[in-house]
Amino acid sequence: MPTLVVRVRGAEHRLSFVPGQSVRSLLDATDFRVRSACHGIGACGLCRIRVLGGDAGEPTANERYHLAAGELQQGIRLACQVKPLGDLVIAVLNTAPASRWKSPPFSLLREHGAVPDGTLRPVPVAVSTPLGVAVDIGTTNISLALWNLRDGVPMAERRALNPQAGFGADVVSRLLAADASRDSAAALSRCLVEAIRDGLWDISAREGFELRQVVRITLVANTAMLALLTDCGHGHLLQPAHWAEHIACTPTDVASWIEQWGVHSEAQVEVVQPLAGFVGSDLLAGLLATRLIEGDAPALFVDVGTNSEIALWNGQAMWVTAAAGGPAFESGGVSHGMPAETGAVYRVHLDADHDTLRYEVIGESAGKGICGSGLVDLLAALRRSGRLTARGHLRDGGQPVTRFAFSAGGPDLALTNHDVDALQRAKAAVATGIQVLCLRAGIAPQDLARVCVAGAFGRDLDVANAQSIGLLPAARGARYELVGNTALSGCSDLLLHTEAAERLARIETAARLVNLGQSPEFDDLFLAGLYLEPFATSP
């Protein structure tokens, strides 16, 4: 792939890219965005860069309008108008203020069709350009999608780390913090509301949208995040007696959210309720987006994350559960883990000599860390090369070691025995959830017809590697689909379309909740799942 060399603030960065994207969109996925205020259509003239080398093409009409002839002769261009086909060297002249909110390097919505078509819902408030926002609150990341409600066109996407991480990397730590005091519970809620506010402001400032045009906001999340956002029901999630019950997560002060967010004063705010226990509305949104109960059966849906949610449709009922795997597959608690964003190692290949490893990096040519899909590849490669045992012990020349060091063209990185242990536990939790649901539904894992793997983790997952370490079952003849952030896609469907609510109701009616903690098979399956080996084949 061609390379974009970016010089900004005295440093040089190298970004690999697929031709067809504008320089502005390439920079939007990084920490050195260019200033902009017009949705990248060349109307504001703020995104100024200087071309230092390579072919940037001829200036567009918008560039000739905003830039003087002398500026064009000096190589000054508008980043949103330059779409390089080959290598390019630029300097950023007008940098944007720092923001933790980024435009993702790939669409968060499902790439094979985004959200399904349907009848657009009536606009609740008369404004010139009615806008709506879909919000997916994950334990690790928060994602936003801005839509035009009049024509159903996506306008912008943003993602940032969930600021609640300061209270703990996993949901239990945050629930315990909320239960400890009213002040902590209020702080956990407040930081989510403020994070959404910052994301909306970032979209407004960079894309040139007036927040008062936002007239509907729909939110989905796992149950813990919903309970902490609304400051309602989080105490029940710490009591096993309530894990099979519906947890009401109803906001009591929507007016204050609307005021803080700066949206229309009469905007609809819809918090999609969880199913029960730790099975949240993010799972329901994912099932809605993938149309799981409308397709082939038996079908498995797995959203791997800190709170992994799993569903199995056997043609008659939808068996669902949640597995507390911890943040390892979202790179939390891993020595050099990072989200699936620019600079992350997301693919690892073992050469035919079974000794040499090759690394692929998102966006940049130098890896700064490794994300979930890269970790799965790395474990699989180390297993095949004999440098990692089935029990999860690192080896070098047959001797035990405490770490495996590697580099992807950037700083030295490492995978430690502690990292492997965290990944084994996360993998075992997911595998156990899948196997328990298969037992309840009366099917063998290898007989699945369809397997959907959701989330940023699943977007670049190598299915064969995931099967080799026992994260996913090897189903003969199954169609494996890497479906992206289906929580955000399903949330967008609910935001936009009248049919979505009815489909959601059918999913809820078909759902059968399984509490893994009360499953007699759990301990044996979890212990077996700790081994880095493929699923056992059922007779």
Q: What is the pLDDT of residues 278-290, one digit of tens each?
A: 999 999 999 999 9
- Per-residue 3-state assignment (H helix, E strand, C coil) for 94-118: CECCCCCCECCCCCCCCCCCCCCCC
- Tell me the pTM: 0.88
Burial class (CB in 10 A: 0-12, 13-18, 19+), 20: exposed
pLDDT at 538 (0 to 100): 55
How crowded is residue 295: how many other Cβ atoms within 10 Å of its Cβ? 14
Q: What pLDDT, on the 0 to 100 scale, is given for residue 110?
A: 55
pLDDT at 479: 93
Nearest of 149, 466, 186, 446 to residue 329 by alpha carbon: 466
Where are the chain's structural domains? Answer: 3-92, 131-278
From the list 275, 270, 129, the residue with the least C-alpha distance to 204 is 129
Question: Which neighbouring-strand residues pair with 132?
Answer: 147, 216
The 10s digit of each residue's pLDDT in 507-535 is 999 999 999 888 999 999 999 999 999 98
SS (H, E, C) 233-259: CCCHHHCHHHCCCCCCCCCCCHHHHHH
Q: What is the reported pLDDT for 113?
A: 43
Query: Which two structure tokens, joined as six digits, stand for 446?
Result: 């290898």
- Please tell me whether residue 405 adopts helix, strand or coil conformation: strand
CA distances to 119, 417, 448 from 465, rounded to whole Å, are 40, 19, 18
Name the CA dihedral angle for 337, 343, 347, 349, rounded to a multiple of 10 degrees: -100
DSSP string, 333-371: TSTTB--SSTTEEEEEEE-TTSS-EEEEESSBSS-SEE-
Write down the pLDDT at residue 539. Answer: 43
- How long a stretch of residues is the chain? 539
Tell me how far apart the alpha carbons of residues 362 and 304 are, in angstroms, rounded to a whole number: 20
Q: What is the pLDDT of residue 29?
A: 85
C-beta of residue 103 within 8 angstroms of C-beta of residue 42? no
**pLDDT, one tens digit for every residue, the chain (539 residues):** 899 999 998 889 888 888 989 999 999 888 889 999 888 889 999 999 999 999 999 999 999 999 999 999 999 999 999 999 999 999 999 998 888 998 886 776 754 444 567 899 999 999 999 999 999 999 889 999 999 999 999 999 999 999 998 898 888 899 999 999 999 999 999 999 999 999 999 999 988 899 999 999 999 999 999 999 999 989 999 998 888 889 999 999 999 999 999 999 999 999 999 999 999 999 999 999 999 999 889 999 999 887 889 999 999 999 999 988 777 877 778 899 988 888 899 999 998 777 889 999 988 778 999 999 999 999 999 999 999 999 999 999 889 999 999 999 889 999 999 999 999 999 999 999 999 999 999 999 999 999 999 987 777 899 999 999 999 999 988 899 998 889 999 999 999 999 999 999 999 999 999 998 889 999 999 999 999 999 876 54
Distance, in Å, from the CA atom of 271 to the CA atom of 262, rounded to the nearest integer, reads 18
CATH fit for domain 131-278, picks 3.30.1150.10, 3.30.70.360, 3.30.420.480, 1.10.3720.10: 3.30.420.480
Q: How many CB atoms lie within 10 A of CB 141?
A: 22
Written out in words, the top-level CATH class of the domain with range 3-92 is alpha beta
Q: Are 451 and 483 in contact (CB under 8 A)?
A: no
Backbone φ and ψ of 464, nearest 5°: -60, -40
Find all residues with CB under 8 Å of 409, minimum gap 6, and list them. 359, 361, 365, 366, 367
**Which of 89, 83, 76, 87 is CA-nearest to residue 57?**
83
- Amino acid making up residue 233: G
Tokens 């909740």, located at residue: 513
| Gap between the Cα atoms of 109 and 1, Å rounded | 24
Q: From CA 389, how far away is CA 15, in angstroms rounded?
A: 36
Question: Coil, strand, or helix at residue 189?
Answer: helix
Where does 212-306 show beta strands of DSSP type E?
Answer: 214-221, 268-271, 299-303
